[in-house]
Structure 1
Amino acid sequence: MIDSPTTPTTSDGGSSLRGSIGVAGIVFLVIAAAAPLTAVAGSLPVMIAIGNGAGAPMAYIIAAVVLLIFSVGYAAMSGSVTDTGAFYAYVRKGLGRSAGLGGAGLALLAYTTIQAAIYGLAASTLQGVVVKFGGPDLPWWLWAGVLMAIVGVLGYRSIDLGAKVLGVLLVAEIALIVALSVGVLIKGGAHGIDFVSFTPHAFFSGSPGIALMFAIGSFVGFEATAIYGEEAKNPKRTVPIATYVAVITIGVLYAVASWAVVLAFGSDKVAEAAQSDTADLTFTAATKFLGSVASDIMMVMLVTSLFAALLAFHNAIARYIFALSRTGFAPKRLMNVHPKHGSPHEGSILQTISAFILVGAFAVANADPVLQLFTWMAGVAIVAILALMVLTSVAIIAYFRRTDSDNRWWHTKIAPALGTIGLVGITALVIANFTTLIGGSRVLSVVFLVVIAVVFVGGVVGARLVADRQLDRGARTQHSPLA
């Protein structure tokens, strides 16, 4: 399924990543970043409780359809872009270097904050699991440190090793989600099988914007299909196939699993059940339809699901740093490739340090790992990645408008335009509900939105300053007596 990395041709590394990861390996990395069990056991109960109740499954379908349409142009352009910077590389190629660096800033902000958020949730969950099974009650930040150390070591190694680790964990958690879904459907749920969840009435009840917000957040990380392009077998074929397979798999898995959870309590009762016990909604369903042992296993697997997501995002950030270094927008040493593992190890180390600093700041402030670290940082990440996807969609349209590399109307014009409209609509809904997402503080929501805007503008300005500096350096060299 996943071959060993190609042996480097030089002993001192280089500036190109190496590997032979296939479609299955990339799909594993994408779905791992989506953290299926985290979505089903963590996000889904919140979507049901404060979103649109029984209509939550439809939010996953809408998100998947929008992303599939977006993926048409994304996959078409992948034939012209094979760069570990992914969205950054697409924006740069379509809209220019300045917009590209602004997009890279959004990507780094999104992935750094979502990883910090998951460290908070993972550490809190691990703390609870250890205590539940008779272990010591240690501070959450200590468990976060342990997780960061393990992720740092794996991230330093080759992507193939990381993919194998993620593959084992992912198969187990998907099997558990499928088992729960099948168990509920076979037994007919609480009051029989119905399709209320997929009706317009159910979707538009309550606050569908909040449900869409969590649904689109559950797909964060599917950009990995292009991030690992340089390390893939035949990237022009692998990236498009992996993109479609990943989005469809995640969409179907989430829609069916969320529908099963709704049926486990009944379409008319699930909202009330979620509001009365949000944290344990999915575990209660598992206990009822699979037994208490399966529920305990699911709780443990939630930790491994979160760990898989941490490793996937760590790898994505390290490769963004590598791409920025290679194009001159980060220190040159960060584009060094490990001579043995073929990995961007310098960027991996930098990412580990930044994670320790960000999570450590919340720990020093005595913040709650879930209500503050997870909620706030996840909110920032969702808005940032949506803004980046809108920018990428516009870049795809601009790229094909001025080139003749692909003349298919659906792939290069119609689908990218429809994808842009869909993403803008979802972004508007997310921003409208952003205050709710980060805990109800309007001041804090404004501050975070300003930070996102400043990061993008800072990237644009930074790109222009670097370009001006390079022009000045070139001019001096040209007029030098040694030139």
Structure 2
Amino acid sequence: MSTSTSPASPSEETGQLPHRRLPFWVALAMSVALVGPTLAMSGNGQGLIATVGKAIPLVFLIGLVGVSLVGYSFVRLTRHLNHAGSAYGLVGGTIGPRAGFFSGFAMLGAYVGFSIGTLALTAAFTNAFIAQLQPSNPDPYQVPWLLVVVVGAAISFLLSGRDIRLLAKILLVIEGIGIVSMVALVVVIFAKGGAPTTGIDFSVFTFDGVSSSAVISGVVAAFLSWAGFEACASMGEETDDPGRNIPRALAGTLLLTGVLFVVVMFAQVIGFGTDAAGLEAFQGSGNTLGDLGSTYVGQWFSLLIIFTATVAAFGCHLATSATSGRMLYAFGRDGFGPKALAHIHEGTGGPRFATWLVVGVALVVDLLCGAFRWPDMGTGNPAIDTYFLFAVAGSVCLMVCYLLVELAAAWFVGAPKFVRVHGGGGKVLGLALPLLGAVVIAVILWFNVKDATEWTAAPLLGLYWCAVGLVIALAASGIAKRVGASLSAELAATE
């Protein structure tokens, strides 16, 4: 969406993001970094062993289909609409401002949750790296995880809100090293034929020994791994030729990570072995890529992998904080939040105050979790427990947001008033694929909340956040009317 029109609540304190200056690679780097391939492949498979066993690659293959349907809807919308609020602007400009705010609030909850979780996971991976430096010590020295969190937050405060080009370069280098390392490890595992006991076992792509309902419920972990692929959509107002470059960045991120995730998960499962002993080793691993690197290559490679995963976890924290800051900026600019959130720092051209707020929340929440020794997710590691709680809760928020984006894409294609914007082409696919995606997401959400027994269960925490957003959206009728006029004007400016 163009931002040539005035915001809903103009103010001297409200700034404007620099327009149309960032190249394609910056948008791609933000999405890839927020997905965090090294982080996802190091820590998102272990929790699936208990429910799906060796069928983890099948879960990721199905997850790729589901997330691709969501990706199609984002691509379809961002060809014509671009807004710093990402889903907030896309849904708000099509279905309406209340739905837009609700989707944006859900996405904000997801990214803030990921910011909290990845800051904690940075501490967990830091200690895993320190332990790997002491291979002969049965009780290796570990740094208090909250100390690592405080240091990480301090660095994040220094980097947050700075020129997005600098952040993108840092993130691109981090993930570049991680991806190359993963590919090298995969090649070695395949070359050595996998684990000696089970070899290369293609039955991991079947329902052999696992129920279809278990596989479907496990797909949420796959969505967690791809969470953030749409981060570049929040940079639509800052990217050069956004109608072309944002869809390219979305498609490029999904293509790169889609192939990578399925292949790497396949390699990891056969690397540990598909028998009971191999799956037990997979489940108990603190960093699967690091352990496999030590087994198949050597300790030096394991150190490289764990170090890269640690830095990637912190890079993901930076990316989620930056994206959350841009969403808060959009809320503040359009009247759905304090005007201070819409302040743009002159020196950096970014919403520094809004980003600092996200980092501050992440720090405080992690400190509270450590102080109260909560949550207990059964891993035995409080930092990883904190990560899993907020990662799963954030994933539920994100799927609620994705559901609304799917409906918005179908509405955008089907509603007569938008024909002048998109020209009316590709109507059948433009309706069928988003609606199919909406059904897939609804099924996955149901399977993940239906068995929750405690009110503090992670999926329910995500739904609580979304419920708060729904109440605010319904109550803010006056603001919604003004924001609706603003979004309509921005949409008209794209003609």
TM range (shorter): 0.7 to 0.9
Amino acid in the other structure paired with 2:113: T
TM-score, structure 1 normalization = 0.87
Match of 1:464 in 2: 477
Aligned to 2:192: 187
Is the counterpart of residue 315 in structure 1 residue 322 in structure 2? yes
Consecutive unaligned residues in structure 1, runs of 5 or more? 1-11, 436-440, 472-483
State the percentage of identical aligned residues.
Answer: 23
Aligned to 2:9: none
Task: Tell whether 2:342 aligns with 1:330.
Answer: no
| Cα RMSD for the two superposed structures | 2.6
Structure 1 pair 98–138 and aligned structure 2 pair: CA distance change class (3 A)? same
Q: Structure 1, residues 345-375: CA drift from partner, whole Å, max 9, x if none?
A: 1211222222222222213323363354222
Distance in 1, Cα, partners of 2:358 & 2:272: 42
Aligned counterparts of 1:301 and 1:242: Cα–Cα separation in 2: 23
> Which position in structure 2 is the counterpart of 1:370?
383
Aligned partner of 1:5 in structure 2 is none
Structure 2 counterpart of 1:425: 443
One-letter amino acid of the structure 1 residue matched with residue 441 of structure 2: L
> 1:36 is matched with which residue?
37
Match of 1:355 among 351, 362, 373: 362
Kindly indicate whether the alpha-carbon contact (under 8 Å) linking 1:324 and 1:330 is maintained by their aligned counterparts in 2. Answer: yes
Judged with a 3 Å threshold, the aligned counterparts in structure 2 of structure 1 residues 276 and 351 are, in CA distance, closer, same or farther, namely closer
Which residue does 1:387 correspond to in 2?
A: 400
Q: Are the structure 2 counterparts of residues 196 and 310 from structure 1 closer, same or farther at C-alpha, using a change threshold of 3 Å?
A: same
- The answer on whether the counterparts of 2:28 and 2:249 sit within 8 Å (CA) in structure 1 is yes
Classify the secondary structure of the residue corresponding to 2:274.
coil
Q: 1:82 to 1:281 in 2, by over 3 A?
A: closer
**Structure 1 residue corresponding to 2:461, chosen from 448, 462, 471:** 448
Shift of the alpha carbon at 1:259?
0.5
Q: Is the 8 A contact 2:18 2:349 kept in 1?
A: yes
What's the counterpart of residue 304 of structure 1? 311
Alignment gaps of 5+ in structure 2: 1-12, 135-139, 375-380, 485-495
Q: 1:414 aligns with which of 432, 436, 447?
A: 432
1:118: which partner in 2?
118
Is the contact between residue 40 and residue 254 of structure 1 (CA under 8 Å) also seen in structure 2?
A: yes
Q: Which residue number corresponds to residue 85 of structure 1?
A: 85
Do the aligned partners of residues 187 and 203 (structure 1) sit closer, same or farther apart at CA in structure 2, a change above 3 Å counting?
same
The equivalences for 1:15-414 within 5 A come to 15-18=16-19, 20-47=21-48, 49-130=49-130, 132-133=132-133, 137-190=142-195, 191-201=198-208, 204=211, 207-269=214-276, 272-274=279-281, 277-367=284-374, 369-370=382-383, 372-402=385-415, 403-404=418-419, 405-406=421-422, 407=424, 408-414=426-432
Instruction: Provide Cα deviations, 1:268-314, integer angstroms capped at 9, x if missing partner.
Output: 34663346633254433222211121112212122111011111101
Do the aligned residues in 2 keep the contact of 1:66 with 1:423 (CA within 8 Å)? yes
- Aligned residue for 2:94, secondary structure, equals helix
Within 1, Cα distance between the matches of 2:411 and 2:399? 18
The answer as to whether partners of 1:45 and 1:282 remain within 8 angstroms in 2 is: no
Count of aligned pairs between the two proteins? 454
The alpha carbon displacement at 1:70 in A equals 2.4
**CA–CA separation in structure 1 for the residues paired with 2:114 and 2:201:** 35
CA distance in 2, matches of 1:232, 1:276: 41
Name the CA distance, whole Å, in 2 between partners of 1:455 and 1:81: 27
SS of 1:207's equivalent? helix
Separation in 2, partners of 1:211, 1:362:
26
CA distance in 1, matches of 2:327, 2:215: 33
Q: Is the 8 A contact 1:334 1:346 kept in 2?
A: yes
How far apart in 1 are the matches of 2:25 and 2:127?
32
Cα separation, partners in 2 of 1:418 and 1:115, compared to 1, 3 Å? same
Question: Partner letter of residue 42 of structure 1?
Answer: G
Tell me how far apart the structure 2 counterparts of residues 33 and 186 of structure 1 sit (CA, whole Å).
31
